Structure 1
Amino acid sequence: MKNTKHYLAAITAFTIWGFFSLVLRPLQTYPSLDILFYRVFVSGGLMLLVGILLRRKVWTENRQHFAALSAAEKKGLLFQLFGGGLFLTANWYFFIYVTNEVSIKASAFAYLVCPVLTTVLAWAILKEHLSRGQWVAVLLSATGCGILAVGHLTDLLYSLLIAFSYALYLVSQRKNYGADRFLLLSGQILFSALLLLPFYPVYHGLVPVAGRFYILIAVIAVFLTIFPLWLNLYALKGLRSSTVGILLYINPVLGFMLALTVFGEKVDALQLSAYGVIVLAVVLFNWFNPAIRAQAAAK
């Protein structure tokens, strides 16, 4: 299959994020904003160190590449950089807050809504074509999300904040302007760090003293931020935003399973049936994906 590596990158990234709660929940006693501060600052510091020590040549090449772009392309690339950093910052805070202050099910639900929003935004903004079968899958997944929202309006509103911020990030990163993806990601995280820096002196809590806090933050920075985000950007080089958005369902399904089996959160028959509907929607969406069917027919 032509895009096998891109599919594997997306699947790996979303699988990793599906286990995020295992690392995030032990930090539940710390304020959500503090977790965000340290996550972004540590990630930004690591990315800056890697850039200085190992990627100076890439920086020089990309600076020359940027200078050669047209005015419209420069504007688009700058939007990917600064807009992407802004969307990521918002998504990270909402996810941390909902996971630790509301419920893991609510944060998992957000990433059930996200693929639907990503697909619709990609169709509306990027003019990505969807077949009739894929629109049926989108409507079916929306129905499943609607079932999950019954009796949980507050959770739905929190989930929509997470979903919309990440959907905007996915769509904003789809177009390829030729910039190095790892360098672009570095710029987004560093911009996020600069964005948060003025707020740290005013809004941070007590400086953590427990060694476990910093160990978990390091794990989050490297294995749950930098690595899966790089995989996600790599996947977007070969896959449409709508396809990556549908693969995102791996994340909430795993999150839901952890909420149920590890953290003992309650789930009723209505919620279980809704997840079944959404899984069916994922299967249908990929079945009616013209690229996948064409590749399968060519074998």
Structure 2
Amino acid sequence: MSESLRGVLAMIAACTIWGLSPLFYKLLDHVPPPEVLAHRTLWSVIFFSGVLALQGRLSELRAALRGRKQVAMIVIAGLMISVNWFTFITSIQIGRATEASLGYYIFPLMAVLVGWFWFGERLGGLQWMAVGLAAIAVGLLSWGLGATPWISLIVSVTFALYGALKKQLPLGPVVSVTAEILVLMPIWLLLLAWYHGTGQGAFGLDLGESLLLMFSGPMTAMPLILFAMAARRVALSTVGLLQYLNPTLQFFCAVVVFGEPFTPWHQLAFSLIWMALAVFSLASLRQDRAARRASTALSESSAHVRNPASDGSANP
């Protein structure tokens, strides 16, 4: 099996786990979202720390938590991913998983806007068109339903900001995520202590439920590890296209499995978002092909400079 195929399979596996995760969190819909999030964070830290220990890389985690600026960025990134996770868990419990899936569809377009605003990245005409279509979709959905789809916006904005912060952190994916959730652990441990101190804690009351809460850690960690594997082995354009499997499966869970309402306004908004993503993907593929052509031309030019005799016209 080629490395590229391994990467594609790893990406599909990661997106499948993410996309079907609503089914898992629906099993915990009677546990308050803050408690679910606290357990997800706790068991994720334990799992990630175990992985780093097996790899002999715990020293990297200690090194990551040095320097005020880096620690501050890690804390902010931790807050962003915690808000994202909390919003996602809450959306499933209150019957609005459809909005969460819309948020993950919007995320790539929001990430483009963050890149333009934060890093000064240039956007082409097709990219601006995609962003415009997404804005129209959100506006129409807000107008049609009489309420702004805050879940979609919070999910997409927090994940886009999280990605921008991680871009500036010189850390590997496992070390970075472990540090981000570790710095906020005191908050979640205090919350769990309060839940159990007041007799409201779910952990320990039922074996199956306790195992589900514990499994939220590996379930969080595995797709991130698979995603990291995929990112090293396949082109970014391929990663970008495959990641739409995640919100598509979430959408399937919300509408088909959970039976959430899918009004004509939802249909219109999702149609515009899918159109925007098609335009955005086309622009990304064009950019990727142009970059590869430029890289190939540069390599050929360099080879010619190093060995001019290889060109027949240069022979005496």
Residue 29 (structure 2) pairs with residue 36 (structure 1)? no
Match of 2:253 in 1: 258
Aligned residues: 287
Displacement after TM superposition at 1:268 (Å): 2.3
Deviations 1:57-116 (A, max 9, x none): x3446767998xxxxxx5664344222222111211121112102421122222233333
Correspondence list, 1:74-153, <5 A: 77-153=70-146
Match of 1:214 in 2: 210
Correspondence list, 1:169-208, <5 A: 169-175=162-168, 177=170, 179-203=171-195, 205-208=200-203
CA distance in 2, matches of 1:218, 1:119: 35
How much is the aligned-residue C-alpha RMSD, in angstroms? 3.5
Partner of 1:288, secondary structure, is helix
Displacement after TM superposition at 1:40 (Å): 1.0
Deviations 1:129-160 (A, max 9, x none): 22111111121122223333334354612332
Displacement after TM superposition at 1:11 (Å): 5.4
The 3 A distance-change label for structure 1 pair 247 and 192 is farther
AA at the equivalent of 1:45: I
Contact kept in structure 2, 1:118 and 1:242, CA below 8 Å? no
Bigger drift between 75-84 and 255-264 goes to: 75-84
AA at the equivalent of 1:227: M
CA distance in 1, matches of 2:122, 2:13: 26
The 3 A distance-change label for structure 1 pair 159 and 274 is closer
The 3 A distance-change label for structure 1 pair 242 and 145 is farther
CA distance in 2, matches of 1:117, 1:263: 27
Match of 1:276 in 2: 271
Match of 1:27 in 2: 28
Contact kept in structure 2, 1:99 and 1:106, CA below 8 Å? no
Displacement after TM superposition at 1:170 (Å): 1.3
CA distance in 2, matches of 1:124, 1:66: 28
CA distance in 1, matches of 2:132, 2:238: 15
Contact kept in structure 2, 1:113 and 1:145, CA below 8 Å? no
CA distance in 1, matches of 2:104, 2:16: 12
Contact kept in structure 1, 2:65 and 2:179, CA below 8 Å? no
Contact kept in structure 1, 2:39 and 2:216, CA below 8 Å? no
The 3 A distance-change label for structure 1 pair 109 and 277 is same
Displacement after TM superposition at 1:184 (Å): 1.8
Contact kept in structure 2, 1:174 and 1:237, CA below 8 Å? no
Percent of paired sites with the same residue: 26
Displacement after TM superposition at 1:203 (Å): 4.6
Partner of 2:122, secondary structure, is coil
